[in-house]
Amino acid sequence: MTEIIIRIEGMECGHCAKEVSEALSAINGARKIRISLEKAFARVVFDESVTGADQMIGALGAIGFKAVLSDS
């Protein structure tokens, strides 16, 4: 399993956080997702043999959020 942090621009309300959580949860291989609305990030644990950061960032882009991989 791999853990990453994705910074999400434009996630400003509870509804946005729910949309982000649902989009990431729908990705095959995503195992654990924690959303921080206050800090505008998602911490995701996933099976790297099934999916990757690019798929997650793409899924968030598809619902209107700019997302970037964070180094911390």
Q: Give me the tens of pLDDT residue by residue for the chain, a chain 72 residues long.
A: 999 999 999 999 999 999 999 999 999 999 999 999 999 999 999 999 999 999 999 999 999 999 999 986
pTM of the model: 0.90
CATH number for 30: 3.30.70.100
Task: Specify the pLDDT at position 72.
Answer: 62
Q: Which long-range contacts (CB under 8 A, 24 or more apart) does 17-23 make?
A: 19/63, 20/60, 20/63, 20/65, 23/59, 23/60, 23/62, 23/63
The confidence score (pLDDT) of residue 50 equals 96
Query: Based on the structure, what is the number of domains in the chain?
Result: 1
In this predicted structure, what is the pLDDT of residue 71?
80
